[in-house]
Amino acid sequence: MGPAPSGGSPGPAPSDSSAGAEGPEADPEDSSRSERKLDGPGDAAAVETPAEAPPPARPASEKPPRVDGTYVGGTLGPGISFARVNDFPTPNPFVGGGATLRVGEVIYPWLSIGVEISGNLAYRSADPRQRLLQGAFLVDFGFYPAAKKQIPLSLRAGFGAGGGAVREARRTDRSGFGGAVFTAAVRYEFFPGAAKRRPTRGGGFSIGPELGWIGFMPAAKGRPMSHTVYLGLYVGFYFGS
């Protein structure tokens, strides 16, 4: 039998099963870092910036305004005029018709400003027969008292300058008037088919009655003048804003 192994040689160290299975102990989570605010530039870069929210859409139940944006239109209809001139008497009213062309802009939902050209032709049927012709250029203002409810009722007023003349049968001369001109009117507009053709856009085609007055004022007491009252049909279009 050989000699017994020497007691000085160390044997293999027993393996630590717990250390082999779990490995080195992990550091505990830094709770102070998880709870603190992200102040540093590195932390701020790691946070994704949310996209800018789009503007809120118009509710489906809200109707776009019809009296909106640039507009163009005209009024055509009959009227009755009362005129006074210097050279011959005009005891009876003149009956005829007139037309007005307007272009302007809706500045606020309750206010529009534009320009208009107005003309009128009328006749006196009594003997002696007479004819009245007058025209004017004016600045036109429209006020919408029920704009919050989108009711297209407007009260209109204007001022400008113009003139006219009266001719009489069997006379070669004529007598005229001219100077400051003022207008006033009330109008209601309908927008047929606008809700279908322009469901999300303002403006549209309009049509409605207009009752108004146009006055060619005398330069002094007793001087020539003319007053006309008319009932016409307005047709226009609003392009929307």
Q: What separation in angstroms does the CA of 35 have from each of 39, 42, 43, 45?
A: 12, 16, 13, 18
| Residue 25 reports pLDDT greater than 70 | no
Percent of the chain residues past pLDDT 90, beyond the cut: 66
In terms of Cα–Cα distance, which of 203, 213, 160 is closest to 73? 203
What pLDDT score does 56 carry? 56
For residue 42, pLDDT beyond 90: no
Pairwise pLDDT comparison (69 vs 6), residue with the higher score: 69
Distances in Å between the alpha carbon of 7 and those of 2, 13, 15?
A: 15, 15, 21
How far apart (Å, rounded) are the C-alpha atoms in residues 138 and 115? 6
Cα separation, 71 vs 146, whole angstroms: 19
Mean pLDDT, all residues of the chain:
84
Cα–Cα distance for residue pair 90/84, rounded to 1 Å: 6
Is residue 178 within 8 Å of residue 164, measured between CB atoms? yes
